[in-house]
Amino acid sequence: MTYTAWIILTAALVGLSCGIVGVFLILRKTAMMADAISHTVLLGIVVAFIITREVSGPAMLIGGILAGLLTAFFVQWLHTLNVQHDASMGIVFTTLFAIGVILIATSVGNAHLDVQHALMGEITFIPFHTITIPIIGEIPEAAGLLLLVLVVVLFFIIAFYKEWKITSFDPALAASLGIPVLFMHYVFMGLVSITTVASFDAVGAIMVVAMLITPAAAAYLWTDKLLIMLVLSGTFGVVSSIVGYYIAAWIDTSISGSMAFATGLVFMVSFFFSPKHGLVSKYIRPSKVA
């Protein structure tokens, strides 16, 4: 495959996995947790780097998951101590992120990690770091990691589809049915973390938030059915990453920035023109007077 094809494929994988995970972020009204986790994953990656002294996929994945779960745990813990939920989020992620930045600035120094790279991602380098997989052959490491994460995410969502549905829409009912709601919450935060880590190389810490939240929010405006929302959100993710790539190629700018921008465009179109909840359709067909 050509250089461009690999970039587009990687970007599309980011869009697909983020789009699917994002649906549950929107439905569980924990969208800002994505922001928190995407920042603290940086700390996990840095610590993994300090321990193993190399930039390797699996170590970073584990570091990222641990950091993400730690964030979820701290936020939950502070919340049980009567700190407002969003305030505890704000405290935890800014602090862990700050520690990550300090570690990079002091001990890791000029090694392979730098803050800017971590925050913005560098998808243009992705085709150069390849690994060899039996049967398929040589593929970029980031694409392989994303593929693996996508499989894991799909497995968890399909295997526990009914449980996700109930815990997302009606946690109280779920608890009364004996579904471990808190445990599911942590599993979900783990899924968000691995998706974030895998997307990190490609789009960086902050743009991954755009990929996670925006396509799902756009899909939420089109449908009331969970399955359709998942399909739509994944599609929107893929479309915006491809559109983003071509915008970036067209005006020669940051690919990850353009991908985030493209998700915004998709949302804007949905916000105005979605037949169900769009502004225009609301204007044409005024809601029934109750």
Among 16, 34, 45, 126, binds another protein (CB under 8 A): 34
Among 94, 107, 176, 281, binds another protein (CB under 8 A): 94
Assess 202 for contact with another protein (CB under 8 A).
Answer: no
Among 105, 111, 133, 228, binds another protein (CB under 8 A): 105
Single-letter residue type at 271:
F
Stretch that binds another protein, among 8-16, 113-121, 177-185, 187-195 (CB under 8 A): 113-121
Return the residue matching tokens 């994953």: 41
| Residue (185 or 277) nearer to another protein, CB | 277
DSSP string for the chain:
--HHHHHHHHHHHHHHHHHHHHHHHHHTT-HHHHHHHHHHHHHHHHHHHHHHSS--HHHHHHHHHHHHHHHHHHHHHHHHTT--HHHHHHHHHHHHHHHHHHHIIIIITTSS--HHHHHH--GGGGGGSEEEETTTEEEEHHHHHHHHHHHHHHHHHHHTHHHHHHHHH-HHHHHHTT--HHHHHHHHHHHHHHHHHHHHHHHHHHHHHHHHHHHHHHHHTT-S-HHHHHHHHHHHHHHHHHHHHHHHHHHT--HHHHHHHHHHHHHHHHHHH-TTT-HHHHHHSPPPP-
Assess 179 for contact with another protein (CB under 8 A).
Answer: no
Stretch that binds another protein, among 55-63, 96-104, 161-169, 190-198 (CB under 8 A): 96-104
Cβ 244 to another protein shortest distance, Å:
8
Stretch that binds another protein, among 47-55, 140-148, 155-163, 205-213 (CB under 8 A): 205-213
Assess 252 for contact with another protein (CB under 8 A).
Answer: yes
| Residue (50 or 152) nearer to another protein, CB | 50
Assess 264 for contact with another protein (CB under 8 A).
Answer: yes
Assess 29 for contact with another protein (CB under 8 A).
Answer: yes
Assess 108 for contact with another protein (CB under 8 A).
Answer: no
Cβ 248 to another protein shortest distance, Å:
8
Residues that bind another protein (CB under 8 A): 25-26, 29-32, 34-35, 39, 81-84, 86-87, 89-91, 94-95, 97-99, 101-102, 105-106, 115-116, 119-120, 206-214, 217, 220-221, 248, 251-254, 256-261, 263-264, 267, 271, 277, 279
